[in-house]
Amino acid sequence: MCQIEESTSRRTARHIFNFFAPLVSTHVGRTEEDALQSSIRELAAGAFKLAMTIRKSKEQYTVKVLEKEPGSKHLVQNNAHWVEPHAVEGGKPEDKGDEIAYTLFGALIKHSEGREIVLEPASVVLKRRH
């Protein structure tokens, strides 16, 4: 399993780095680029381990994302138990409203004994206050 984990993590990290490479400043030195690649490899290895742990678990896990339908609004106050605001769309933190613009990352939910337990809240971006 260790060999599969390492090769999968390295391959995934390489794809992630190649995707973001055009966004890396041309002024970044080799040391900084190596550090970034190392961080991405660590992230990929952690994600692989988490995926394997969840697959082996007797519990059920899901990722919950806000489903936006045309004309609908989602407010933080109605979803506070499982969302965490991280930014304001086109504004500064003090410009934040209560309406959720979109989800960056869904919430990790554990289903246990008929209950939903939020292990990691969804990261959301808020709309600006008018």
Residue 79: the pLDDT is: 86
Q: Tokens at residue 122, please? A: 């969804």
The predicted-structure confidence for 75-124, as pLDDT tens digits, reads as follows: 888 888 899 999 998 888 888 888 888 889 999 999 988 899 999 999 99
The predicted-structure confidence for 26-85, as pLDDT tens digits, reads as follows: 898 999 999 999 999 999 999 998 888 888 888 899 998 887 777 778 888 888 889 999
Q: 13 pLDDT exceeds 60?
A: yes
Write down the residue that tokens 């959301």 correspond to: 124
| Beta-sheet strands, E only, within the chain | 60-64, 83-88, 96-105, 107-112, 115-120, 122-128
pTM value is 0.64
R_g of the chain, CA atoms, integer Å: 19
